A and B are shown apart, each in its own frame.
Chain A
Amino acid sequence: MKIIFSLLLGMHLLNAQIVVVTNKNSQLNNIPKEIIQYIYLAKIDKIESIKVEPILSDDKNLHNEFCNHILSKSESQYNSYWARLVFTGRKPISKRLDWQDLVKKLQVPNTIAYIDKNDLRNEWKIIYEEN
């Protein structure tokens, strides 16, 4: 049973396509991958004069996939990178949000989050999608 469950979970992850979304009322539209990276690496906090708040998911697999595919870093390297930012006074540690909090937070315009494309809601729009 456990093996079947693991296989199903694995298949689900294989099918998961990560997209970066924001509220439909946001002024943000298509954003290049490099800019998404700079925002999540805290190199910049504005895109085209718009202040952006990036949020992190507490879904471990999703977060891992995001680090690997969008940021091109392992999750552990990303942790290390954040430790560097936090303990040099640059940025506070962003709390990883569960799904409900993430949905709530995305009501605020110009907040961005990465999700599985299958979970996309009507009130959101995709600003980055890996081809």
Chain B
Amino acid sequence: MKIKNILHKITIFLLSTLPAYSNEFDIKTFGTIGGVYNDNSNYIYRKDIFQKDGSSGNLSFKTDTLIGLQTTLNINEKFSLLLQGIVNNDYNDEIKAKIDWGYLKYDSGENIIVKVGRIRTPYYKNSDNLNVGYSNLMIRESVEVYGQVPFSSYNGIEAIYSNIIDKYFYTLQANYGKENLTVPIHSLNQKANVEVNDLYAVNLTFGTTALQARVTYLNADITASSLSLDQLFGGLRAYGLNELADKYEFKDKKSEYLGFGLFLDYNNIIFSGECGHRKIPSFFANVHGYSATLGYSFDKLIPFATYAKSKMDVATYEANTGVYALDALLRAQNLAQSSETIGMKYYINEHFDIKFQYEHVVPKGDYGSYHLSTLQKPQELNVFSFALDFIF
């Protein structure tokens, strides 16, 4: 049975059992109303590689604006059903509702939690709460780190164990599952069907309440296919270019992600540093990146500054395989860029906050940047953003 059917059944079950469990049923909402202005009309500024539209010399509300709903049904002290859905601008530039995650949760009360269903993939510190603006400092996390992996949820199981040793806590998280999704390649106006199999991940977070470190490793067998990709690699093989096809075809490729993080929240000083390395031996080239944020909490006001950088392991824009179509595909993978951001978050109350930030983006190399452009030679972007976040 497909996971969408399961989630559909969970939704119907949650709604049909509402009267019987009215005391245990809980609905919460969250959302962001956000505007972005990017002064360079040669680029479409976007939050991640899924978005098709964003700001391009105009004010756009598509990048960050979203509304979300979370329902919880507490079946008994240990079991609960949770579902979270969001409405936002999707990769077809249409406003759509989708179920982001939903699972059956078992909480042993012994510091062990097990989830079965559709689960967020734990690449980054804020993977789980990326859509909940109120819980984050910045309007959006640095794409140089958070934009590396093109899927955010999977279908499977997650187990979490937390405990303390002396005065230090640790959380060990293990994940297993699979995922099927469509990944847009906007720069080539194509879409790829992506199958993620045997996905497993481990994540260890440890430290104190002031200082925490985090390490994540993820491994999966991934295949990406589309009519044009199949034609390209089929054509290479037909012409006897098997070595080239083996090197770049994205078929059952053992893919890895390794991430580290260091976080400080001490005497009003806030520091957050994360770095990640995506290794996928295919045309979807290897990339690594890092981001560092420093802020200071003046009670309700937190000003901050961030520097982030991403770099391809091998510069894809220098691709010269002798096959024009393959070179074009490789060049489109260049995600190298750096960005400097300054901004502030102001807590209005326990339901609302407002944020402002300015970001200066410097794409590196031909066809570079996470932001969409047809330019060969890169240009800089100045991006101004504001957001009103809410939770109820």
Residue numbers of A with Cβ under 8 A of B are 32, 34-35, 37-38, 41, 43-46, 51, 71-77, 79-81, 83-84, 86-90, 92-93
Contact = CB atoms under 8 A, between A and B. Distances in A.
Contacts of B210: 72
Interface in B98-151: 101, 103, 105, 109-111, 113, 115, 120, 126, 128-129, 132, 134-136
B169 A74 contact: no
Contact of A83 (B120, B135, B162, B169): B135
Contact of A38 (B103, B132, B164): B164
Interface of B: 26, 28, 30, 68, 70, 72, 82, 84, 101, 103, 105, 109-111, 113, 115, 120, 126, 128-129, 132, 134-136, 162-164, 167, 169, 171, 208-210, 265-268, 297, 299-300, 347, 350, 353, 391
A83 B391 contact: yes
Nearest to B127: A88
Given A44-B164, A80-B135, A74 B300 contact: yes
Given A41-B209, A74-B268, A79-B347, A89 B84 contact: yes
10 contacts: A45-B109, A72-B210, A72-B267, A76-B347, A83-B30, A83-B132, A87-B28, A87-B70, A87-B84, A90-B113
A51 B111 CA distance: 10
Contacts of B353: 76, 80
A89 B209 CA distance: 20
B5 to A, nearest CB: 21
Which residue, of A51, A86, A93, has the highest number of chain B Cβ atoms within 10 A? A86
A34 B128 CA distance: 25
Contact of A44 (B105, B115, B163, B391): B163
Contacts, number: 94
A43 B162 contact: yes
Contacts of B101: 89
A121 B70 CA distance: 39
Contact of B209 (A34, A75, A87): A34
A89 B350 contact: no
Contacts of A34: 167, 208-209
B111 A84 contact: no
A84 B132 contact: yes
A35 to B, nearest CB: 7
A87 B297 contact: no
B158 to A, nearest CB: 10
Given A37-B209, A44-B163, A73 B265 contact: yes
A34 B76 CA distance: 30
B26 A92 contact: yes
A89 B105 contact: yes
B164 A35 contact: yes
Nearest to B167: A34
Contact of A87 (B132, B164, B266): B132
Nearest to B205: A43
Given A73-B265, A80-B353, A84-B129, 13 more contacts: A43-B164, A44-B111, A45-B111, A74-B300, A76-B299, A80-B136, A83-B135, A84-B126, A84-B132, A86-B28, A87-B28, A87-B70, A87-B132
